[in-house]
Amino acid sequence: MVRVNDLEDDARQTNGTPVQADIVSYSKNGQTVAAIDPTVEGEYTVTLRARDSQDKLSNNTVQVKVAFTLPREEAKTAVNNAAKAKNTAIDNNNNLTAEEKAAEKAKVEAAKNTALAGIDQAKTTAARNAAQNKGTSDINAVNPVPVAKPAANDALEQAAVNKINEISQRPDLTREEKQAFMDQYGLHAMRLWPRLPARPTTRP
């Protein structure tokens, strides 16, 4: 477009103060694309042409390299927060031994590190989000099942039952004496042994 007050004959020549640059094209990896895709990481070449104050475009173009990097910090924070919450839950589980807690925390750490690596390697928002979601899911799936302490408790309970049965079967003891033995062994488990028929408080 040539304005009336343009002193030049050739509309392609610019004679005013450059006021803007028009985008001519975008390309990525040697291929022309419609625009910079904010969901795909990569380097773009943007071709620009100057437009002067008289609305004329320059014959010359300028190419600018634009590197677009996916934002990752929010995804990493979500994964780290999930790992922190799971580790806190493990620490607060008093049914776990120290060894069991360490083993479960190792699973959390492995899931977290895999997720963070996936987020770093992602080249698209879809891949980044998938790495984040899988990571938080894997972390939340860590479900500690106490083994050692329940097994020990079962063994103690069975020992108590066995001792109660042994004491209850002794005909040479009165009910009071049996109770005294139970108290001596620290069983305090009257509810576990069968009710006995009333017996004399002293032996004949």
For the chain, give the secondary structure using H, E and C. Answer: CCCCCCCCCCCCCCCCCEEEEEEEEEEECCEEECCCCCCECEEEEEEEEEEECCCCEEEEEEEEEEEECCCCHHHHHHHHHHHHHHHHHHHCCCCCCHHHHHHHHHHHHHHHHHHHHHHHHCCEHHHHHHHHHHHHHHHHCCCCCCCHHHHHHHHHHHHHHHHHHHHHCCCCCCHHHHHHHHHHCCCCCHHHCCCCCCCCCCCC
pLDDT band at 2 (very low <50, low <70, confident <90, very high): very low
- Higher-pLDDT residue of 29 and 80 is 80
pLDDT in tens, 97-141: 888 999 999 999 999 999 999 999 999 999 999 999 999 999 999
Position 19 scores a pLDDT of 64
Render pLDDT for 6-27 as a digit per residue (tens, 0 to 9). Answer: 444 444 445 555 567 788 888 8
List pLDDT tens digits, range 40-94: 888 888 888 877 777 777 777 777 888 888 899 999 999 999 999 999 999 998 8
Question: pLDDT category, 4, cuts 50, 70, 90?
Answer: very low
Dihedral-angle region of residue 145 (phi above 0 means left; psi in -120 to 50 means alpha; beta otherwise): beta
Position with higher pLDDT, 164 vs 204? 164
Please say if the pLDDT value at position 189 is more than 70. no
Residue 116: predicted pLDDT: 97
Q: What is the pLDDT of residue 7?
A: 43
pTM for this prediction: 0.56
